[in-house]
Structure 1
Amino acid sequence: MPRQPRRRSYDQHCAAARALDLVGDRWTLLVVRELLAGPRRYTDLHADLPGVSTDMLAGRLKDMEAAELVTRRRLPPPASAFVYELTPRGRELQPVLRALAAWGAPELGEPRPTDAVRAHWYAIPLLGVLAGLGEGVVQVTLDEGEFHVRVGDDGSVAYGDGVYGAGTAREPDARLRTDTATCRALAGGELTLTEAIEAGRATFVRRASAVGVR
């Protein structure tokens, strides 16, 4: 029998309250953030969610499966590992995460001594900055690592099964190199990409044969 979601509700006939019934628990939206990069194994999710206990993560994933936000499937051989991925309903949370990241960007400041940092966590705050460069794949390199996104003139963002990917892309259309301080300024609207490049805080190189990204 499928696991039934735990009974927790604001019991309010309000769309916002209903949404929070599903995604308002601690860690849930951060699981969505990780799965926006595409299917992930449990061990990979746990590694990129520092601070979550194994029991908490397992419980959240089961609740998200019951709410039909994620699915679990086995990869074909030779991998034969189970991965979690967002359902279409779960992927609809992408603009919610983008709006939340934009709202929270002014609160970032310098990383605190206790803060974990992953390069791909800057992908969602930068989606709005990179959208409009022209359709194509942009590889972003920070001191902390690399990630890549596919952008379009209409602001849409998608890459394979996710909206971005951790690590390097195969034959990206453009490469952006910068640092986390500049990422914060870009995400918070304090700096445009053009201003960052002109100030020497970022470099942007387009592949000669690319037809999309400007």
Structure 2
Amino acid sequence: MSRLRRMPRQQQPARPARRRSYDQFCATARALDSVGDRWTLLIVRELLAGPRRYTDLHADLPGVSTDVLASRLKDMEQGGLAVRRKLPPPAAASVYELTEHGRGLLPVLTALAHWGAPALAERRPTDAVRAHWFALPLLRALDGLTGEGVIEVRLAEGQFHLRAGAGAATGEVYGYGPAGHPDACLVLGTEAALALARGECTLAEAVGSGRVDVLGDGPLATELRGERSSCP
């Protein structure tokens, strides 16, 4: 008897996975459809500092797998939150950056940082830390400044810089590492940064009590020194 051979089944093209939706006619639900997946908002946090390479994002998001990071970035591109572009020569790399729609999440993340700051009462042994993760909480401490410019922040964990005034309304609101030509510099310890993040004292009070040192001679540095009062 002749053997019957099974004909190979024709391969069907893989269907793109459909993102889960809450299927609710509600602004909050619609927003969570876009940014409610695990890691998405933390990727936005990283990109608020400007364009970043995939490898840099992976390095500053400890715990995220390469597959999940790639998937979230793809979702963010499809959702209009971020774009990918190639750097001009001689750089041979691509970077991800937020769109204007993605940068609109800044007040959301700032509010979340303020809401979550009380949970930082104790650092767990498994907690990673990066200096620039203090940027969003410290932005609230700069509210009310009339001056404009770049403020370098020096912590034991590293350095980053913030943009105060009208300059913070466009482009990146903070950046990694030291600033090239800062208009002022804040030197403080982690505990002082946490106290500011939790709203336990104002920046003027922290400066007045000596918990924050202000370096620089320009108008912004002068304003940051401001009123000198005690910080508990």
Which residues of 2 match residues 133-212 of structure 1 at below 5 A? 133=145, 134-152=147-165, 157-158=168-169, 161-205=171-215, 207-208=216-217, 210-212=218-220
Identity percentage of aligned residues: 65
Aligned-partner Cα distance in 2 for 1:79–1:179: 36
Instruction: Write the letter of the residue equivalent to 1:108.
Output: L
Q: Deviations over 1:5-25 (max 9, x none)?
A: 733100100000000000000
Consecutive unaligned residues of structure 2, counting only runs of 5 or more, are 1-14, 224-232
DSSP-derived class of the 2:91 partner: coil
Which residues of 2 match residues 11-160 of structure 1 at below 5 A? 11-133=23-145, 134-152=147-165, 157-158=168-169
Q: 2:184 touches 2:220 (CA, 8 Å); kept in 1?
A: no
Q: 1:182 touches 1:196 (CA, 8 Å); kept in 2?
A: yes
Q: CA deviation at 1:130?
A: 1.8
Instruction: Write the letter of the residue equivalent to 1:135.
Output: E
Q: CA deviation at 1:200?
A: 2.1
Q: 2:39 touches 2:72 (CA, 8 Å); kept in 1?
A: yes
Instruction: Write the letter of the residue equivalent to 1:129.
Output: A
* Alignment correspondent of 2:11: none
Taking structure 1 as the reference length, the TM-score comes to 0.91
Taking structure 2 as the reference length, the TM-score comes to 0.85
Aligned-partner Cα distance in 2 for 1:19–1:166: 28
Aligned-partner Cα distance in 2 for 1:31–1:175: 27
Q: Which moved more, 1:104-113 or 1:38-47?
A: 104-113
Q: CA deviation at 1:109?
A: 1.1
Q: Which moved more, 1:113-122 or 1:188-197?
A: 188-197
Consecutive unaligned residues of structure 1, counting only runs of 5 or more, are none
Higher relative contact order (CA 8 A, sep 6+): 1
